[in-house]
Amino acid sequence: MHESLVDVAGKKIFVAETGDGPAVLLLHGGGPGASGVSNYSRNIAELAKEYRVIVPDLPGYGRSTKGVDRSDPFGYLADHIRGLLDRLGLDRAHLVGNSYGGACALRLALDTPDRVDRMVLMGPGGIGTTRALPTPGLNSLLDYYTGDGPSRPKLERFIRTYLVFNAAEVPASVIDSRYQDSIDPEVVANPPLTRPTSVRTVWRTDFTRDRRLARLPVPTLVLWGAADKVNRPSGGRLLADRMPNCDLYLAANTGHWVQWERAGLFNSLCADFLAGRR
């Protein structure tokens, strides 16, 4: 893969690229220690057989500049990914987003639908968040940097208990790597994913309150793990009921990390959907 740091509005965005064909951006989730290439380690090579795969580290994560606008986090992420498209000379691209990355993709599509060809969302954030209390999994994620601060046992509990359906499938090396990334001093000082601090922020981070959702023309595939303990699977139905061009696939025996837990299924569905084959 080709790696680079791209300047977007004065911030550095780390990008890994491989493959040829229509451009697909893979946007990772917001858990502690997350990054683009690590979150999509089981998908990049397969999708690169047919697409130009672009994998950024979202602002606040990995090798990208740290810090996120907490008053409008989804908008901040979307603005920078749109800026990345500009710097890469892309008028349009497919967007694939998991969790926090799914919220970024959806916000970008709502703000500028002309920039998005097709979209795949896996357990996206910001769906029905004002309609129910946070899940135990989301609380575990949001509490990682609070209290006694980050630790490997704390991260392992989040990953094995809440992130995936089958804890035994996650090797210790994945947890070790994510833990090291999660304790970057810049991240500890300014975590990119925190609890909303105002009613306005809470409201603007629930997409089901956004009237534009019912008019969004972008063909969208929503994939949701039936056993997701971070973002409720019922969010898939909320999106399918509101979006005019939304297909919904509920994956059995799967948690929040569909693209990793069910890589074969995800790779097939994603490649076919983006190509218009389903």
Active site residues: 256
Question: Buried (b) or exposed (e) across 93-119, using 16+ Cβ within 10 A?
Answer: bbbbbbbbbbbbbbbbbbeeeebbbbb
Distance CA 139, CA 131 (A): 16
Question: Residue 132 in contact with residue 143, Cβ under 8 Å?
Answer: no
Distance CA 144, CA 153 (A): 11
Q: How far is CA 276 from CA 123, 204, 269, in A?
A: 21, 31, 10
Which residue shows structure tokens 């059995």? 252
Half-sphere exposure of 86 (CA within 13 A, CB side): 10
Q: Tell me the sheet residues that pair with 221.
A: 120, 247
Q: Could you write out the DSSP letters of every residue in 54-73?
A: EEEPPTTSTTSPP---TTSH
Residues 6+ apart with CB under 8 A from 149: 188
Q: What are phi and psi of 142, to 5 degrees?
A: -70, -25
Q: Which helix (H) or strand (E) holds 122?
A: strand 116-122
Question: Residue 187 in contact with residue 30, Cβ under 8 Å?
Answer: no
